[in-house]
Amino acid sequence: MSNSNIYELFYSKFPSDPEAVFLEHEQGSLLYSQIENETGKLAGLLKQLGVKKGDRVIVQVDKSAEAVLLYLACLRVAAIFIPLNTAYTAEEVKYFMGDANPHLIVCRPQDYETIVKNAKELNVPHVMTLDEQGCGSLADAKASAPINTNTEHCSVSDTACILYTSGTTGRPKGAMLSHDNLSSNAKVLHSYWHWEAGDVLLHALPIFHVHGLFVALHCALLNGSKVIFLSKFSLPAIKENLPRSTVMMGVPTFYVRLLEDPEFTTDMCNNMRLFIAGSAPLLAETFKAFENVSGHKILERYGMTEAGMITSNPYDGDRIPSTVGFPLPEVSARVADDKGNEIERGEVGILEIKGPNVFQGYWCMPEKTAEEFRDDGFFITGDMATMDQEGRISIVGRAKDLVISGGYNVYPKEVENAIDEIDGVKESAIIGVPHPDFGEGVTAIIIKESHSDITEENVMSYLKEKIARFKQPNKIFFLDELPRNTMGKIQKKALRDTYRDIYQ
Ligand code: MCA
Ligand code: AMP
């Protein structure tokens, strides 16, 4: 039986030129010809630490070439790679440690003490560090580790990664993505977006989510392309590197910020072949303004942690603003009613999907997994959509209570739970309202207990330790009561209507 380990697929595409650059990063360059040896050393170290196939490795580190090598090394030993957003607080990370029961945690040096303390409590055997320069105890130990030349055999359904995604209950769930989920999606995107010889990817996304780690890096790896690897999104770095790039992927905020910059011009985009947007809705006005300035129609696609990329606007055909295009090859999609029955074209329903990209289930949560699949295997995305006669899909809303801020998902329940713990708070509601930079701004409406003198500052200082900065409200309002319907359910739509202009 052939080896479905996705590393084997990448390896088969490495360019034969020994000088071909994979990552051009702030400390120098990583060549394709170095990947095998460097990941071999890291894989040797992982094995020395006792990491076996199926063991979990949690990684919460800043973006660096070494972090990418660590990802590839985990694939090689068939450990399950679990990347975490660097914005997560110690308390959030402790939940993931308890849930995933990892064999190893790799963290930033500044977080080491806290993580070790929690690791002891939770019986996690090893904690190592890696900083943004690629230094730390992991790199030190790697230097003397035996080289592992093997790439572990994997079947199509073996889990390669777990990515945590919060939920409407407020408790994060680990979506298990198999080697085949990742490779099938990567191959489809590589072909659908016409990757070609000489393509250079401008990479400014974080590498702890699907967009930056899988969609962007996997396409480049399959193409043997050079990646201009920026540590984060910064306008000066983007403007400097666009003339040397051919492909860029970003969340809508990237494009909004570029448009606000008077120095961003058509000339900068002369070498560009493709701008791709996703993770949140791209406003039609952004699409049009970007076309006016750059001469490029942004290609918008739609995806989810549980399924990677699902639909895409066409490469050659019409890219229509406010639509997310067609289901990708091998992906079946239907717009359905709340029982999973397909409804008429043009009507609004819930998007359901099926295909080799759809995940294996939530880690240790079989009931949650079962709830989100229909009997015929379709996964319920929770996104409201329409499909036209040609099969083109538009995402028109969300059935799930979710706010997307700058491409990061914020589940209101999680923030409400944290606020409701505060002394003096009776209840709260979190809503997303239009925000010029982040798309949606996280906004809190709080009802105090009678006689409480709690202030906005009290709430913010409590949340600082509890939840990541991007989940914390941009604005807080205190009301006497929340609007409710006759069933007693909070009317979030009414709240969104009331506060819709607060960031304009
Ligand atoms: C930073 N801040 C944010 C966000 N990012 N607040 C709300 N929402 C955010 N997304 C906070 C910072 O902590 C800081 O707080 C303040 O806002 C200003 O930071 P700034 O420097 O302006 O922001 P930034 O560092 O430039 O980051 C903005 C960003 C970044 C570049 C848009 O958020 C980003 O890279 N987003 C990409 C997310 C992503 O990759 N999503 C893909 C998920 P303070 O001032 O208090 O310090 S994958 C997915 O969704 C699916 C599968 C898909 O379809 O792709
Ligand atoms: P995540 O859980 O981070 O994977 O976020 C997935 C969610 O992001 C989807 O369920 C959608 O609600 C949203 N999303 C991703 N891409 C798009 C897009 N192009 N347009 C609208 N929503 C999107």
Which tens digit of pLDDT belongs to each residue from 325-335?
Answer: 999 999 999 99
Percentage helix, strand, coil for the chain under 3-state DSSP, each rounded to 5: 35, 25, 40
Report how far residue 35's alpha carbon sits from residue 68's, in angstroms, rounded to the nearest whole number: 10
Asked if residue 211 has its Cβ within 6 Å of ligand 1, the reply is yes
Cα–Cα nearest to 334, from 326, 323, 343, 347: 343
Question: Measured between alpha carbons, how far is 250 from 212 in angstroms, rounded to an integer?
Answer: 8
Give nearest CA residue, ligand 1 atom 10. Answer: 406
Q: Is the CB of 408 under 6 A from ligand 1?
A: yes
Q: Whose CA is nearest to atom 9 of ligand 2?
A: 304
Q: How far is the CA of 323 from the centre of ligand 2 (A)?
A: 13
Q: How far is the CA of 302 from the centre of ligand 2 (A)?
A: 6
- Give the H or E element holding residue 370: helix 366-371
DSSP state, residue 211: I
d(CA 383, ligand 2 centre) in Å: 8
Tally Cβ neighbours within 10 Å of residue 116: 14
Task: Please tell me the pTM assigned to this model.
Answer: 0.97
Atom 21 (ligand 2) nearest CA:
281
- Cα separation of 390 and 304, whole Å? 23
User: Which residue's alpha carbon is at the smallest distance from atom 33 of ligand 1?
Assistant: 406
CA angle 364, 351, 334 (to 5 degrees): 115
Residue 236 pLDDT exceeds 70? yes
d(CA 280, CA 251): 7
pLDDT digits (tens, 9 = 90+) for 109-154: 999 999 999 999 999 999 999 999 999 999 999 999 999 999 999 9
Taking the CA of 405 as reference, the closest ligand is: 1
In whole angstroms, what is the distance from residue 212 CA to residue 215 CA? Answer: 6
Edge-to-edge strands, sheet with 332-336: 332-336, 349-354, 379-387, 393-398
Specify whether the backbone of 340 is left (phi greater than 0), alpha (psi in -120 to 50) or beta.
left
CB proximity list for 12: less than 8 A, separation 6 or greater: none
Kindly report the CATH number that applies to the domain delimited by 188-398.
3.40.50.12780
Q: β-strands 475-479, 439-448: how paired? A: parallel
| pLDDT tops 90 at residue 1 | no
Q: Quick one: which ligand is closest to 213's CA?
A: 1
Asked whether the predicted pLDDT for residue 285 surpasses 70, the reply is yes
Please tell me the distance between residue 313's alpha carbon and the centre of ligand 2 in angstroms.
15
CA of 254 to the centre of ligand 1 (A): 10
CATH 3.40.50.12780 in the chain is located at: 188-398
Long-range CB pairs of 290-293, under 8 A, 24+ apart, other chains included: 290/255, 290/258, 290/259, 293/259, 293/264, 293/265, 293/266
Centroid of ligand 1 to alpha carbon of 219 (angstroms): 23
Neighbours of 389 (CB within 10 A): 7
Nearest Cα residue to 4 out of 66, 224, 12: 12
Residue 324 Cα: closest atom of ligand 2: 19
Give the nearest ligand 2 atom to 408 CA.
3
What is the distance in A from the centroid of ligand 2 to the CA of 36?
A: 34
Q: Which ligand is nearest to the CA of 395?
A: 2
Exposed, middle or buried: residue 502 (CB in 10 Å: 0-12, 13-18, 19+)? middle
pLDDT at residue 171, as a whole number? 81
Indicate which residue's Cα is closest to atom 32 of ligand 1.
406
User: Does residue 365 have a pLDDT over 80?
Assistant: yes
Question: Average pLDDT for residues 413-431, to the nearest whole number?
Answer: 97
- Cα angle 29, 178, 32 (rounded to 5 degrees) comes to 15
Q: Which residue intervals of the chain bear CATH 3.40.50.980?
A: 32-154
- Report the C-alpha gap between 172 and 86 in whole angstroms: 16
Q: For residue 233, which atom of ligand 1 is closest to its CA?
A: 31
Q: Say yes or no to pLDDT of 167 above 80.
A: no
CA–centroid distance, 409 to ligand 1, in Å, is 10
CATH of domain 403-499: 3.30.300.30
Q: What's the confidence (pLDDT) of residue 158?
A: 98
Identify which of 88, 279, 353 to mutate to test ligand 1's pocket (most ligand atoms within 8 A of the CB): 279
Report the nearest atom of ligand 1 relative to the CA of 405: 8
- Tens of pLDDT, residue by residue over 393-404, are 999 999 999 999
C-beta atoms surrounding 365 within 10 Å = 18
Q: What is the pLDDT of residue 170?
A: 67
- Ligand 2: residues with CB < 6 A are 165, 210, 278-281, 300, 302-305, 324, 381, 383, 395, 398, 404, 409
Q: What is the 279 CA–ligand 2 centroid distance (Å)?
A: 5
Mean pLDDT rounded to a whole number for the chain: 97
The matching CATH number, chosen from 3.40.50.980, 3.40.190.290, 1.20.1560.10, 3.40.50.300, for 32-154 is: 3.40.50.980
What are the CA-CA distances from residue 315 to residues 56, 93, 320, 325 (Å)?
Answer: 37, 39, 11, 10
All CATH 3.30.300.30 domain ranges in the chain, comma separated: 403-499
